[in-house]
Amino acid sequence: MDLIQGTLDLLILKTVAHGAIHGYGIAQRILVISKETLQVQQGSLYPALHRLQRKGLLKSEWKESGNGPMAKYYSLTAAGRKYLQEEMAQWQRYAGAVALVLES
């Protein structure tokens, strides 16, 4: 299932909120948690990561990954954390409202 436009940033931020993680890990975790429903296109993942970093919501550092080569690990900045909370509240209100309409 493709992502609804505009939700990718939110998913990434939420995933990163659990702890520093590299790009591949983010894609995998979204896939696993969503029970293989949400497939993140690799082609949009990295531009999104770079965009979020430029906005100052994410920071990154190079660390050794579990199995070998160095990987770039992303984690939330303070601004990112605040932004995530606001966006999640926003999303829940939105999703609730959509659900109300659909179930009526």
Partner 1 sequence: MRFPWKRAETELEREVAHHLHELTAEYERQGHTREEALRMAKREFGGSEQVKEQCRDERRWAWMNGLRQDVVFGARMMRRTPVITLAAVLSLGLGIGANTAIVSLMDLVLWHDLPVPNPRQLDLVDWQGHGFPREMVDGASGSFGDSGGDFFSYASFRALRQGVAGLASLAAYSYPGTVSISFAGHPRVGQERPVSANFFSTLQVQARLGRLFSDNDDSEAAPATVVLSHRFWVSALGADAGVIGKTMSVNNKPQVIVGVLEESFYGLVPGDATDLYTPLLHGHWQETPEGKAALNNNRFWGVQLIARRAPGVSEAQLLPVMATIFPTTWSAQPKNAANAPRIRLAEGGRGLGSLRDEFRDPLLVLGALVGLLLVIACTNIVNLLLARAVARQREVAMRVALGCSQARLMRQFLTESALLAMLGGVASIVVGYLTANLLGQFLAEHDNRPIAVTLDFRILAMAGAITMLALLVFGLFPAWRGSRMARGNWVRSGAGNVGFAPTRKWAAGRLLVIAQMAMSVVLVMTAVIFTRNLLAIQSADPGFDRRNLVLFGIRPGTSGYEKSRLPQFYFNLEQQLAATPGVSAVGMASVRPMNVGGWWENLRLAGQSGVVNASINGVTAGYLPLFTSRMVAGRNITRAEMNGGAKVAVISEDLARKLGGQNTLGRIIEFAGGRPGEKAPQFEIVGIAPVIAPTSMKERPFAVWLPIEKDVSELTVVVRTLKPPQMVLPAIRQAITGMDRNLPLVEVVTMEEQIAKGLQRERMFATLCSGFGILALVLSVVGLYGVIAYGTSRRRGEIGVRLALGAMPGDVVSMVLREGLGLAALGMLIGIPVVWLGAKYVEKELSGIKPLEPLSIAMALGMLLAAALVAVGIPALRAAALKPAEMLRQE
**Residues in the site for partner 1, rule: CB under 8 A?**
22-25, 28, 41-44, 46-47, 50-51, 54, 62, 65, 67-72
CB distance 10 to 88 below 8 Å: yes
CB distance 30 to 38 below 8 Å: yes
Closer CB to partner 1, 28 or 34, in the complex: 28
Min dist. Cβ of residue 68 to partner 1 (A): 8
Min dist. Cβ of residue 67 to partner 1 (A): 7
Q: How far apart are CA 43 and CA 51, in angstroms?
A: 13
Closer CB to partner 1, 61 or 86, in the complex: 61
Closer CB to partner 1, 20 or 88, in the complex: 20
Q: The tokens of 57 are what?
A: 């919501």
Rg, C-alpha atoms of the chain: 15
